[in-house]
Amino acid sequence: MMVSRNPYRSSKMQQTSPRPADHGDPADDAIIAEAVALYGSDAATAVAFCGLDAWFEDEEVEFRRFARMFSRLRN
């Protein structure tokens, strides 16, 4: 099993989420706040990189989560 170097990624088995894609998640809020604190104006790029990492590892739920966070950072 390959472990991601991304500190914001979960190593748990992926499953589908019953929540709609636009529902706010306190964990997402914390990740966004931490990304902004660490990367400033480049936070959206950092979150997009995490999303790409999830995409290439075939983790669709994580990919959608990071895509949702990226969308919030870009708006």
Span 49-57, average pLDDT: 96
What is the band of 57 on the pLDDT scale with cuts at 50, 70, 90?
very high
Residues above pLDDT 70, as percent of the chain: 68
Q: What are phi and psi of 64, to 5 degrees?
A: -65, -35
Domain ranges of the chain: 26-74
For residue 12, pLDDT over 60 is answered with no
Structure tokens at 74: 């870009």
CB 56 within 8 A of CB 9: no
CB 47 within 8 A of CB 53: no
pTM of the model: 0.66
